[in-house]
Amino acid sequence: MSHIAVFGAGSWGTAFASILADGGNDVRVWGRRPELVEQLNRGVNDDYLPGVQLPDGISASTDPAEVTEGAEIVILSVPSQSLRTNLTEWAPLLGDKIVVSLMKGIELGTTKRMSEVIHEVAGVPAERIGVVSGPNLAREIVQRQPAATVVACPDVSAADRVAAACSTSYFRPYTSQDVVGAELGGAVKNVIALAVGMAAGLGFGDNTKATLITRGLAETTRLAMALGADPRTMAGLAGVGDLIATCMSPLSRNHSFGVKLGEGLSVAQVTEVTKQTAEGVKSCASILDLARAHGVDVPITEMVNRVVHEDFAPADMVEVLLARARKHETE
Ligand SMILES: NC(=O)C1=CN([C@@H]2O[C@H](COP(=O)(O)OP(=O)(O)OC[C@H]3O[C@@H](n4cnc5c(N)ncnc54)[C@H](O)[C@@H]3O)[C@@H](O)[C@H]2O)C=CC1
Ligand SMILES: O=C(CO)COP(=O)(O)O
């Protein structure tokens, strides 16, 4: 049994803590708000996962030092744009632990991946920074529905340790050394899910959705390869696997956000009613910056960014995408 710390008591932090507890670990969760921490200590998380009874083996605290004391692995699951600020406080607690990011976003302004932010702010060597990414909608996971994921880390033995800790009868982790691919797949699929949601909100059917998913995979792969990722990761769970789950599921916050935009609500109106993190809304801008810096064409991301940040209409997005010059499919 390992002692594992989880920072972030939202839907995925809590669901991942449940996997770890089911895997036989002693899990301590850090939450910001005392009321939520109190809920977790009663075995529930009514704010983010209402109606779910959490497994035994999870305790929670608002004290980062208490949560990390004796932990071998530290899992980070806060919104991507808050990680840098959070880590400034947590960095001294990380010591020689394996640090794992569950986050699926790219930092605004710096265009850094979450593993890069962890390395930069907390000084953790790349060999001890892992990423977990795959088709893992939190609500299905806490119902113990079967799913698989990717645990990526440059150090295979560290990836193995994390994979062993989160291996259960319903959750199957595969290991990988492709951190860049896993992080890019996880971040860009949120943007594509916004586009697919918009298409659904506009009343388009499965041909349109499949087209956006497939061309979304093409632009994700182009960008990931430009950053040094293995293209095979894009054909795996952290690539097309997560892309399909997020683009097709009404449980996805990014997909649902896009649907409301497609139905005619403004970004401000959708933001107002969206209580949880939809990473693609912010990361579409940083992913576009990243792609431009590497000279990579990402037309869907570009259109999503225009809708979300430049007041462009979703219907016009479709028109512009279809009016582009014809090209070879594999270019
Ligand atoms: N929910 C899901 O199904 C999955 C989510 N993810 C990723 O996990 C990450 C976390 O997302 P969720 O747990 O789903 O989000 P969430 O919105 O359910 O929860 C976010 C948590 O972070 C806390 N938080 C908000 N602002 C904060 C700040 N400034 N400092 C510290 N804590 C703050 C919130 O209070 C909440 O506890 C995201 O990057 C998301 O893309 C990855 C796989 C599945
Ligand atoms: O990453 C996810 C599933 O793998 C969750 O997607 P959303 O953040 O869009 O809900």
Q: Per the residue annotation, which of 97, 112, 189, 327 is the catalytic one?
A: 189
Alpha helix segments (H runs only) across 166-265: 179-201, 206-226, 231-234, 242-248, 253-262
Distance, CA 326 to ligand 2 centroid (Å)? 32
What residues contact 174, with CB distance under 8 A and at least 6 apart? 148, 149, 150, 151, 163, 236, 237
- Written as six digits, the tokens of 95 are 């010591």
Of 146, 179, 212, which residue constitutes the final position of a domain?
179
Looking up residue 105, the CATH number of its domain turns out to be 3.40.50.720
Look at residues 126, 14, 2 and name the one whose alpha carbon lies nearest to residue 78: 14
With b meaning 16 or more CB within 10 Å and e meaning fewer, what string describes 253-270?
Answer: bbbbbbbbbbeebeeeeb
Full strand arrangement of the beta sheet holding 73-76 = 58-61, 26-30, 3-7, 73-76, 98-101, 129-133, 147-152, 171-176
- Do 214 and 154 share a structural domain? no
**pLDDT per position in the chain (331 positions), as tens?**
789 999 999 999 999 999 999 999 999 999 999 999 999 999 999 999 999 999 999 999 999 999 999 999 999 999 999 999 999 999 999 989 999 999 999 999 999 999 999 999 999 999 999 999 999 999 999 999 999 999 999 999 999 999 999 999 999 999 999 999 999 999 999 999 999 999 999 999 999 999 999 999 999 999 999 999 999 999 999 999 999 999 999 999 999 999 999 999 999 999 999 989 999 999 999 999 999 999 999 999 999 999 999 999 999 999 999 999 999 999 8
The whole domain housing 194 covers 180-322
What residue owns the CA closest to ligand 1's atom 39? 103
- Do 199 and 72 share a structural domain? no
Which residues does ligand 1 sit against, CB inside 6 Å? 8-13, 32, 48, 77-80, 82, 86, 102-105, 136-138, 276-277, 279
Q: Do residues 177 and 154 touch, judged by C-beta distance below 8 A?
A: yes
- Do 98 and 117 share a structural domain? yes
User: What is the number of domains present in the chain?
Assistant: 2
DSSP 249: -
- Do 156 and 226 share a structural domain? no
Looking up residue 254, the CATH number of its domain turns out to be 1.10.1040.10
**Does some domain include residue 329?**
no
Q: Residue 242 CA: which ligand 1 atom is closest?
A: 43
**Does some domain include residue 187?**
yes
Q: What is the pLDDT of residue 275?
A: 87
Of 179, 211, 231, which residue constitutes the final position of a domain?
179
Query: Does the annotation count 275 as an active-site position?
Result: no
Mutate to test the pocket of ligand 1, among 6, 12, 253 (most ligand atoms within 8 A of CB): 12
- Do 221 and 133 share a structural domain? no
Rounded distance, CA 23 to CA 174, Å?
15
- Do 186 and 173 share a structural domain? no
**Does some domain include residue 327?**
no
- Do 139 and 34 share a structural domain? yes
Distance, CA 292 to ligand 2 centroid (Å)? 25
Q: Which ligand is nearest to the CA of 6?
A: 1
**Does some domain include residue 246?**
yes
Q: Residue 254 CA: which ligand 2 atom is closest?
A: 9
- Do 120 and 61 share a structural domain? yes
Classify 221 as helix, strand or coil. Answer: helix
**Does some domain include residue 17?**
yes
Q: What is the pLDDT of residue 1?
A: 73
Rounded distance, CA 4 to CA 25, Å?
7
**Does some domain include residue 220?**
yes
User: pTM to 2 decimals?
Assistant: 0.98
**Does some domain include residue 157?**
yes
- Do 146 and 208 share a structural domain? no
Q: Does 63 belong to an annotated binding site?
A: no
Of 179, 205, 230, which residue constitutes the final position of a domain?
179
Alpha helix segments (H runs only) across 7-145: 11-22, 34-41, 64-68, 83-90, 114-122, 138-142
- Do 260 and 155 share a structural domain? no
Distance, CA 320 to ligand 1 centroid (Å)? 33
**Does some domain include residue 68?**
yes
**Residue whose entry in the numeric block shows the structure tokens 């669901």:** 15
Q: Residue 278 CA: which ligand 2 atom is closest?
A: 8
**Residue whose entry in the numeric block shows the structure tokens 């394996």:** 98
- Do 266 and 139 share a structural domain? no
Distance, CA 13 to ligand 2 centroid (Å)? 12
Distance, CA 252 to ligand 2 centroid (Å)? 5
Determine if ligand 2 sits within 6 Å of the CB of residue 217. Answer: no
Determine if ligand 2 sits within 6 Å of the CB of residue 254. Answer: yes
Q: Do residues 245 and 194 touch, judged by C-beta distance below 8 A?
A: no
- Do 294 and 260 share a structural domain? yes
Classify 147 as helix, strand or coil. Answer: strand
